[in-house]
A and B are shown apart, each in its own frame.
Chain A
């Protein structure tokens, strides 16, 4: 009996040791955009798992038990914060029972810390819809914020895995260089359309619009998280006509009926903005989110005028 018990215990230790001796660093990112940046910094020294699917609504993700296992073995957890993950991540973290990724540890990173957050409501009031009380969480759609997040990730990776610090820093340098170069390209591409008035489905794009000087004048949703109502659309369409809105930006998971109706009434173009890496075949990394989308936006705006 006693021997059996000992065998069982040593087996247990062996198993946990085998799990710990994994060569690459395991990084779990709540959404694929942050995961992609972690990959840019860690390259082949890290294994990245994303919880939200690139094509689904990141507000509503299932807390699938398979992610408990991933988090249990993670060396680092990257969370966007601003309550985007509030409905699904907390239970996973409790289930994972992993000291490394708890708040305050080196392996826990809130990507929104240090990012200039916009649209912070002065009062929390759900009569205004599902407003995020800590501000708009879609900050990754501004490439400059992506850069900040990359620096944070690099910093924390250096702390976790100091022996590869120089490698991570090199990768960060390279990434920032490419990003800066691309950013000026993108800005040049969109410069002719400065101030163009656009309408979006949800309040997903203000960071993007701010960076590239587009002007979001309305949303198809009457209030955040509330589906478009006929009355709202009826008042939105004349507004769009008056303001000369030429572009409607929507995420891939939105229904198309309402945007298509609004577009047909106003002559605006719809551009589907894959907000995550992997949201579209062409989008394999963080920078190609913007490459792809900005090309789409430019061609949509060009054909109009």
Chain B
């Protein structure tokens, strides 16, 4: 027993020493750190010596120099550490890759011969790494057999051989001083590069955080009745509109997942959390089908599917707030879509979601609408679910112009009685012109419009003395945004909603609104927006003026934009 442990100990010792011995001599890459050391010591000592000569001139200057040198030393040490860790990573990767390569080569002997006779000689002359140093070229010649992408069977093998070469050729080039590992334009190529690609792939999800804030001033005392959205600026002074965390990535080869968790601070300063969306989407079902399941924004109309930070205005259109609800229409459910196998884009969507809660506002909402008390607030059977069909189609009118048209409907029960139903239907349109010579996506013009109608079967409420009746309402908005100059967008929106029966204030009366705004994007990841709202409440003959200053920032991964 003891003997074994001695032997083990010895083995470990040898291994450790072996690694040390092995590293500097046998592997080229280690040269760099040693150079680094040499660099460091003379530099600092010399510096100090010089400093002592110059001390007679000025003391503070000397101190400054020493400080700078120490900073430099620390920096160099950091760099060295960084380099060392990378180097180790690389070594392990090289070994694993080489194992894989030999295995692959064994497997592929026959097919490789057949397919790959031709590329090898060509690659020789100028293979990738021929960038700078001649030593590199020498090495690359010796390693020549490898570069040829020898992927014959599994597609996953394709990047492997290349990275192996990159890895094995890399070290000699690293003889360039580590002080400038990625100096632009010099053609030096750091060995870490292909590996960075590797480690980037190690994150299984992309994370981002978006903060959306606004400051408001208004002639209206109660801004909350004027603004219909839950994420709108609803008070004079500052509002935290939306603090959104997004997790997104591939779940497995079959599904992609996304979740949007929203934090908000309400009027009383209380923080609360909202799960806005969390769903998976299938990547490739047969027959051009796609499934989305989880909890998500209903695919109804256009704006409802977009998160507040992606809107062109600081607040949401009136009609969206009234029909689809302050927080938009969203609920747990499933959506099936079918992409027509035609040459123009046409897609059919069919969504089934729960019909209860405040995010199914015109349906089984606990707050009864039209002055009625909510009597039915649960889903009891299939008929009580919310069914939302939608069709969209799109054409490229010219090389620079595209139009997207859609029609949707939402059927479901509402909470005012056992057999009372709601139907919302809508048409939407989005048109965009973008210059062929667009830089940073500018200049462009977009025009987006939606019109919606709602038929609400209201049940009888005896206690409130309200009869059974059918209530029809409609509303619409139309908005134009003009990206007239890189980073600058001017937009104008017109809103109209008709009056709801029994309405008391602006939240239900007939009204229209005009909102011009100007947005400045310092970069893709931030924006500042100034918006003015002219509200005319026809129902009670009042007009209000509001001004919003909105700002946004985005941290983390760059999400893809929807059209």
Q: Is B108 an interface residue (CB 8 A)?
A: no
Q: Is the CB of A118 within 8 A of B189?
A: yes
Q: Is the CB of A116 within 8 A of B128?
A: yes
Residues of A within 8 Å of B1, CB to CB, are none
Partner of B339, one of A72, A154, A159: A72
Q: Is B129 an interface residue (CB 8 A)?
A: yes
Closest to B123 in A: A151
Q: Is the CB of A104 within 8 A of B128?
A: no
Partner of B193, one of A87, A135, A154, A172: A135
Residues of A within 8 Å of B256, CB to CB, are 94
Q: Is the CB of A114 within 8 A of B128?
A: yes
Q: Is B130 an interface residue (CB 8 A)?
A: yes
Q: Is the CB of B185 within 8 A of A226?
A: no
Closest to A57 in B: B439
Partner of A53, one of B436, B487, B525: B436
Partner of B523, one of A18, A65, A121, A225: A225
Known: A116-B128, A135-B193. A90 touches B560 (CB 8 A): yes
Partner of A102, one of B159, B187, B253, B395: B253
Residues of A within 8 Å of B404, CB to CB, are 65
Q: Separation in Å of the A218 CB from the closest CB of chain B? A: 10
Known: A83-B558, A159-B152, A226-B523. A115 touches B128 (CB 8 A): yes
Q: Is the CB of A145 within 8 A of B560?
A: no
> What number of A residues sit within 8 Å (CB to CB) of B?
89
Known: A16-B288, A88-B560, A102-B253. A120 touches B193 (CB 8 A): yes
Q: Is the CB of B289 within 8 A of A69?
A: no
Alpha-carbon gap, A119 to B129, bound state (A): 14
Partner of B126, one of A19, A106, A121, A144: A144
Closest to A145 in B: B128
Alpha-carbon gap, A38 to B5, bound state (A): 61
Q: Is A285 an interface residue (CB 8 A)?
A: no
Alpha-carbon gap, A129 to B130, bound state (A): 30
Q: Is the CB of A86 within 8 A of B184?
A: no
Closest to A14 in B: B341
Would you list which residues of chain B between 248 and 264 have a CB under 8 Å from chain A? 250, 253, 256
Residues of B within 8 Å of A151, CB to CB, are 119, 122-123, 148-149
Known: A53-B399, A91-B561, A226-B523. A113 touches B196 (CB 8 A): no
Residues of A within 8 Å of B432, CB to CB, are 62
Q: Is B141 an interface residue (CB 8 A)?
A: no
Q: Is A267 an interface residue (CB 8 A)?
A: no
Q: Is B181 an interface residue (CB 8 A)?
A: yes
Q: Separation in Å of the B414 CB from the closest CB of chain A? A: 31
Partner of A133, one of B200, B250, B289: B200
Q: Separation in Å of the A178 CB from the closest CB of chain B? A: 12
Of the stretches B37-45, B66-74, B324-332, B342-350, the one at the interface is: B342-350
Q: Separation in Å of the A203 CB from the closest CB of chain B? A: 7
Alpha-carbon gap, A176 to B185, bound state (A): 26
Residues of A within 8 Å of B190, CB to CB, are 120
Of the stretches A238-246, A249-257, A286-294, the one at the interface is: A249-257
Q: Is B158 an interface residue (CB 8 A)?
A: yes
Q: Is A215 an interface residue (CB 8 A)?
A: yes
Residues of A within 8 Å of B82, CB to CB, are 122
Binary A-proximity of B344-367 (CB < 8 A = 1, otherwise 0): 110100000000000000000000
Alpha-carbon gap, A79 to B488, bound state (A): 30
Q: Is B462 an interface residue (CB 8 A)?
A: no
> What number of B residues sit within 8 Å (CB to CB) of A?
83
Known: A64-B396, A106-B155. A216 touches B289 (CB 8 A): no
Q: Is B162 an interface residue (CB 8 A)?
A: yes
Q: Is A301 an interface residue (CB 8 A)?
A: no
Q: Separation in Å of the B156 CB from the closest CB of chain A? A: 6
Q: Is the CB of B341 within 8 A of A144?
A: no
Alpha-carbon gap, A105 to B526, bound state (A): 36
Alpha-carbon gap, A106 to B151, bound state (A): 10
Known: A65-B404, A66-B394, A102-B283. A225 touches B197 (CB 8 A): no
Q: Is A99 an interface residue (CB 8 A)?
A: yes
Closest to B556 in A: A126
Q: Separation in Å of the A164 CB from the closest CB of chain B? A: 13
Q: Is A182 an interface residue (CB 8 A)?
A: no
Specify which of A18, A118, A159, A215 lies most central, judged by the most chain B CB atoms within 10 Å of its CB: A118
Binary A-proximity of B164-196 (CB < 8 A = 1, otherwise 0): 001000000000000001101111011011101
Alpha-carbon gap, A266 to B524, bound state (A): 32
Known: A53-B436, A253-B438, A254-B439. A122 touches B283 (CB 8 A): no
Alpha-carbon gap, A144 to B290, bound state (A): 40
Q: Separation in Å of the A287 CB from the closest CB of chain B? A: 15
Alpha-carbon gap, A153 to B182, bound state (A): 29
| Top 5 closest pairs, chain A to chain B, by CB | A60-B441, A114-B162, A65-B394, A99-B284, A65-B345
Sampled A-B contacts (23; CB under 8 Å): A55-B436, A56-B436, A57-B438, A62-B432, A64-B394, A65-B392, A65-B404, A66-B395, A66-B402, A69-B339, A73-B341, A87-B560, A95-B339, A99-B283, A102-B284, A113-B163, A114-B162, A116-B131, A130-B524, A133-B200, A144-B128, A148-B123, A253-B437
Interface residues of A (CB under 8 A from B): 12, 15-16, 18-19, 53, 55-57, 59-60, 62-66, 68-69, 72-73, 83, 86-91, 94-99, 102-106, 108, 110, 113-122, 126, 129-130, 133-135, 144-145, 147-148, 151-152, 154-156, 158-159, 165, 169, 172-173, 176, 180, 183, 203, 206, 209-210, 215-217, 225-227, 251-255
New contact pairs (12) apart from A68-B339, A110-B159, A118-B184, CB-CB < 8 Å: A19-B341, A104-B156, A113-B163, A114-B166, A116-B131, A152-B158, A154-B119, A180-B122, A225-B440, A225-B523, A253-B437, A253-B439
